[in-house]
């Protein structure tokens, strides 16, 4: 236990009952300042973060889909929606970061409150609705920062459909964002699995998703790695269809998984912002309730492909053991969001140290040797 878990988190979560979205916005403004200022104070703070929160070890390094990863733990999409803090994530220990979800048109998202903590479940419920400043704004920001650097780690860009765009025009909407950002991201993710944009999950249908992937790959002159992010609520048949599409359109991999719309087994009785139970609130749930299902899907994808399609595993990762289970199920990389909020800034370093301990225990020389280890058995 560190000071964040023993003192800071209880104060923010319980005593102050701070609005979760307000606290997130405050965090992002501080991180944006930390990453973008070049004065002595900011530089000193970044260096201190790097010394305290980073763990470098060659056994954690991988080269995947043409990109170098110093470690397998990344920041999931949704935290840095507009890419305002790309230069600070490496100083916080992450091996990569995924920004967005970004849409072609700027949009305010759904009405507030739209982000809730489910503390008893170690989870969060969100119905944000892809609130972001739009692809043009992100392109301007990243273009300016590319003149320097983006923090020396791979930066992925998560693409979503604008709410105002009809489902039948979804492919053109994704294409518009990709055209603006193609030269600025290290990899791209087609997000068709958020439950918070009306009809979006229907784009996971093989025909509709195939159309989106076809137009993106036809435009992909720079051969950027493209992923698709899927929901944990899909049937095995639907997942098998997406695996087939990934092969057909030569995707770099699959991200498993997004948030869940299931509500069974929750301990949280009500949400203090609205007084309603989680069952009465729309949106997707992240964190511990989705952990086992996402790992199960990772295992299935790895088995169906015999490890030929890279998987980025996300959902309910709080500890090194959670991370190890995702990797040995078949994930080459993992991402965190809700767990990082609950566990605090030292979480990434603890996970990396735990992964190294597991490698030593199993007599392995690199994290790549652990990928699919449990699935192989």
Q: Considering the domain 52-376, what is its CATH architecture?
A: Alpha-Beta Barrel (3.20)
Separation between Cα atoms, residue 345 and residue 4, nearest integer Å: 8
Output the six-digit token pair for 326. Answer: 């995702």
Q: What is the per-residue pLDDT for 376?
A: 77
Catalytic annotation, pick one of 70, 90, 194, 332: 194
Mark whether 194 is an active-site residue.
yes
From first to last of its 377 residues, the chain has per-residue pLDDT tens of 676 566 556 656 664 456 889 889 999 999 999 988 888 888 898 899 899 999 999 999 999 999 999 999 999 999 999 999 999 999 999 999 999 999 999 999 999 999 999 999 999 999 999 999 999 999 999 997 655 455 689 999 999 999 999 999 999 999 999 999 999 999 999 999 999 999 999 999 999 999 999 999 999 999 999 999 999 999 999 999 999 999 999 999 999 999 999 999 999 999 988 889 999 999 999 999 999 999 999 999 999 999 999 999 999 999 999 999 999 999 999 999 999 999 999 999 999 999 999 999 999 999 999 999 997 76
pTM of the model: 0.95
């Amino acid at each position: 236990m560190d000071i964040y878990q023993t003192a800071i988190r209880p104060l923010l979560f319980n005593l102050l009952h701070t609005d979760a979205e307000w606290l997130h916005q405050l965090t992002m403004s501080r991180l944006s300042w930390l990453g973008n200022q070049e004065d002595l104070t900011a530089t000193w703070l970044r260096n201190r973060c790097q010394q305290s929160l980073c763990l470098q070890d060659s056994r954690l390094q991988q080269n995947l889909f043409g990109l170098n990863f110093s470690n397998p733990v990344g920041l999931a999409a949704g935290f840095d929606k507009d890419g305002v803090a790309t230069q600070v994530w490496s100083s916080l220990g992450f091996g990569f970061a995924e920004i967005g979800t970004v849409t072609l048109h700027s949009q305010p998202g759904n009405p507030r409150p739209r982000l809730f903590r489910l503390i008893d479940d170690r989870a969060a419920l969100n119905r944000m609705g892809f609130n972001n400043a739009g692809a043009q704004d992100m392109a301007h920001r990243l273009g300016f920062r590319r003149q320097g650097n983006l923090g020396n780690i791979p930066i992925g860009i998560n693409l979503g459909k604008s709410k105002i765009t009809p489902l039948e025009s979804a492919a053109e909407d994704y294409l518009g964002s990709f055209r603006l950002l193609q030269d600025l991201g290290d990899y791209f993710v087609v997000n068709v699995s958020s439950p918070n944009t009306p009809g979006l999950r229907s784009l996971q249908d093989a025909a509709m998703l195939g159309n989106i992937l076809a137009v993106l790959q036809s435009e992909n002159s720079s051969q950027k790695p493209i992923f698709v992010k899927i929901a944990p609520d899909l049937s095995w048949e639907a997942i098998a269809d997406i695996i087939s599409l990934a092969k057909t359109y030569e995707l770099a991999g699959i991200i498993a998984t997004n948030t869940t719309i299931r509500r069974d087994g929750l301990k949280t009785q009500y949400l203090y912002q609205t007084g309603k139970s989680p069952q009465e609130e729309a949106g997707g749930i992240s964190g511990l309730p989705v952990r086992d299902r996402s790992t199960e899907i990772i295992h299935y994808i790895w088995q169906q492909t015999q490890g030929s399609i890279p998987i980025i595993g996300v959902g309910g990762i709080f500890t090194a053991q959670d991370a190890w289970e995702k990797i040995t199920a078949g994930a080459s990389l993992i991402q965190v969001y809700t767990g990082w909020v609950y566990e605090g800034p030292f979480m990434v370093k603890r996970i990396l140290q735990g992964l190294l301990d597991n490698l030593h225990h199993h007599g392995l020389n690199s994290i790549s040797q652990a990928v699919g280890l449990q699935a192989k058995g």
